[in-house]
Amino acid sequence: MPKPTIAITIGHTHYARIFSDAAWRELNTFADVIHHPGDDPADKAALIALLPRADACITSWDVAPLDADVLAAAPQLRALAHAAGSVKRFISDALWARGIQVTSAGPALARDVAETTLGLIIVGAKRILPLGQHVREGGWRESSAWPSREVSSSVIGLVGASSVGRHVLDLLRPFRTTVLLYDPFVSTEEAARLGVAKVELAELVRRADIVSLHAPAVPSTYHMLSRALLQEMQDDAVLINTARGALIDEPALIDELRKGRFFAFLDVTDPEPPALDSPLRSLPNVVVTPHLAGCITDCTRMGEMAVEELRRFFAGEPPLHPITPDQFGRIG
């Protein structure tokens, strides 16, 4: 039986970042591989030129969407494995109509985001940044940021039991902390199995010492952390956003931060990056980082997962992380 043909669309500049040697070896054992010849991710014209012979393809950040024109030029295409986070931008109605299998390596990226989140939870609970600045300015413990606190004695509020949120839960288990969860798609029974207390969002922001956002950016979550809810957050709380900036009413957040009541770590903003004159760049109780919570230089876990998904597809095995039309409204 001839091997399937798999097209790599991500551009040669990104090969080392996405694919490990092990991934290449595995891919070549079951497929003939064709490559987009450019250094940068394939644009629409490049996809139309590359995909006519492809039975499947691997996409990643900045590859052009597989719209109706691209799919019309790819009559053999049966599977798409996305080696990045959200696959939503790449999917069109034409792809669903063709019955093409779509998988996402987002769960591999989720682990990186969760690890960053755990770091911010610890740094936030210990109040390392404000206390470090206080010491730099000549002080010691006579600060409003003292005493710092332990994660184990903190109430952690997670907004969203996404792949990232569930990884954060796994990482928090050794701390034996109290975790509150807001997620309308998680039942009380499932929350109990996860070891968390399912609550409404208003209760979560009132009770949590640390609020961490892990929801998708969809219409129903736009500005879910509203002015009213931000005003309900505890004094000395910590807000962490490694998800999407649009989840927070940013002008309202700035107003609350100006009061000095709580601290925020924002890896994402809306817009991104924030304007040069945005108060988020200058307020002392907020740290904005340049969307770095996920993998930066070593994303090879995603490449390996994408290869494994295609191996399974052509071996007739079920996918590990399929994306289906009924999930589409719930992913960001």
Q: Give this prediction's pTM.
A: 0.91
pLDDT value at residue 95: 86
Per-residue tokens: 66? 């597989």
Kindly list the domain boundaries of the chain, sorted by start residue: 5-104+297-330, 110-288
pLDDT value at residue 149: 92
Q: Are 5-104+297-330 and 110-288 in the same CATH fold?
A: yes
Low-confidence ranges of the chain (pLDDT < 50): none
Q: Tell me the pLDDT tens digit for each residue of 63-87.
A: 999 999 999 999 999 999 999 887 8
Q: Which residues contact 143 (CB under 8 A, 6 or more apart)?
A: 130, 131, 134
Element (H, E) at 104: strand 101-104
Taking the C-alpha atoms of residue 69 and residue 71, their distance in angstroms, rounded to an integer, is 6
pLDDT value at residue 329: 63
pLDDT value at residue 23: 97
φ, ψ of residue 3 to 5 degrees: the values are -70, 150
Per-residue tokens: 159? 């907004």
Domain 5-104+297-330 sits in CATH at 3.40.50.720
pLDDT value at residue 156: 98
Element (H, E) at 26: helix 21-30
Return the amino acid letter for 312.
R
Reported CATH class of domain 110-288: alpha beta
User: What amino acid positions are annotated as catalytic residues?
Assistant: 244, 272, 291
- Assess contact for 6 and 57: CB atoms under 8 A: yes
